[in-house]
Amino acid sequence: MIPGAVAPERFSMRHQYTIRDAISFKGVGLHTGNEVTITFKPAEADQGITFVRTDLCEKPRIPALVENVIGVIRGTSLGIGGGVKVHTVEHVLSALSGLGIDNVMVEMDSSEPPAADGSSLPFVRLLDSVGRLRQVPRRKLIRLENPVMVSEENSTEAYEKHIMLYPSDTFKVSFTIVYPQRTIGTQFVEFEITENSFRKNIMDARTFGFLKEKEHLQAMGLALGASLDSCVILDENEILNRDIRYPDEFVRHKVLDVMGDFSLLGAGLLAHVVCIRSGHSLNVEAIRKVKKLVESGAGASFVNPMQDVSRPSLYSIRKGVKTC
């Protein structure tokens, strides 16, 4: 058993968790198209999530922290220099975040995790098969104290993307997407993120892409492992997959990505995250902004998860003022 771990009587979001045993899964990377074996292994408390490239000399480790983000094109990539990198880590991170697993080693013998079915579901099933171990230290938790906003403009299609973060007693995500294609259109969801809501509403929502983009992406070295088995593929008028898991599966997957990216804070977050047409780039920018607030001691701070995290004064999103 990992030092500092105890077998839990029931799951508690106040404690850190690892997994009980090692477990592996083989597949093909979504963008690289390379075969890969991913192995999850237990880790000691306070270690966090660490990716390990077992195919490289000395098996270099890449902590899953926003400081190590090196790319956000069609996924989130991490690296530590010297060509040591891992790509498209958000679905793995979302599975770990949704299950409340704080400390684990993620070994890979290639640069990208298996795409699996394009969601976090296969990784959740894998982790469920070995179970969790509660660890003695408390979970790290950040409270946002003031609103934060980040924006960027899509110059090609002439629209803006936004993420607004508001103080909250929980971690909540609201997401709006707008696509001109009638196969998607405008979709909106809002979830308070708990293990139950993740399992029920988010974990099996798959990544998606358009058939017309495939040739262009593959010329860039992307989507080389994409297929109807690993993502939802659309053209202008129809969805090519036989099955759609939810009418709004596309925006649900965006929430899945937010969960994975925001885990790069290295701590839980008490905030309402409101996203409008945003993606990995803005997610990372928002995380970096929150981290700077924590480091400066102004606007966000660590809280003790054993204490009541609620406060008598909360920021009202609708009114834009504090209400008592």
Residues near 198 by beta carbon (within 8 Å), at least 6 away in sequence: 98, 99, 259
pTM: 0.89
- With cut-offs at 50, 70 and 90, classify the pLDDT of residue 271: very high
Question: Mean pLDDT in the chain?
Answer: 88
* pLDDT (0 to 100) of residue 209: 84
Catalytic residues, by residue number, are 280
Instruction: Enter the DSSP assignment of 94.
Output: H
Q: Do residues 320 and 149 lie in contact, with contact meaning Cβ atoms separated by under 8 Å?
A: no
Q: Could you give the CA distance from residue 252 to residue 235 in angstroms, rounded to a whole number?
A: 20
Taking 70 as the threshold, does the pLDDT of residue 317 lie above it?
A: no
- With cut-offs at 50, 70 and 90, classify the pLDDT of residue 292: very high
Q: Could you give the CA distance from residue 71 to residue 125 in angstroms, rounded to a whole number?
A: 28
| Amino acid letter, 247 | P
Name the CATH topology of 141-312: lpxc deacetylase, domain 1 (3.30.1700)
Best CA proximity match to 38, nearest among 87, 1, 100, 71 = 87
Q: What angle do CA 77, 252, 246 make, to 5 degrees?
A: 135
The counts of H helices and E strands in the chain are: 6, 22
* Annotated binding-site ranges for Zn(2+): 91, 253, 257
* Annotated binding-site ranges: 91, 253, 257
Name the CATH topology of 13-138: Ribosomal Protein S5; domain 2 (3.30.230)
Chain segment 136-194, per-residue pLDDT in tens: 999 999 999 999 999 988 766 667 899 999 999 999 999 999 998 888 999 999 999 99
Q: Do residues 203 and 90 lie in contact, with contact meaning Cβ atoms separated by under 8 Å?
A: no
Taking 80 as the threshold, does the pLDDT of residue 4 lie above it?
A: no
Same topology between domain 13-138 and domain 141-312: no
- With cut-offs at 50, 70 and 90, classify the pLDDT of residue 202: very high
Domain ranges of the chain: 13-138, 141-312
Provide the edge-to-edge strand list for the sheet that holds 49-53: 23-28, 35-42, 104-108, 49-53, 61-63
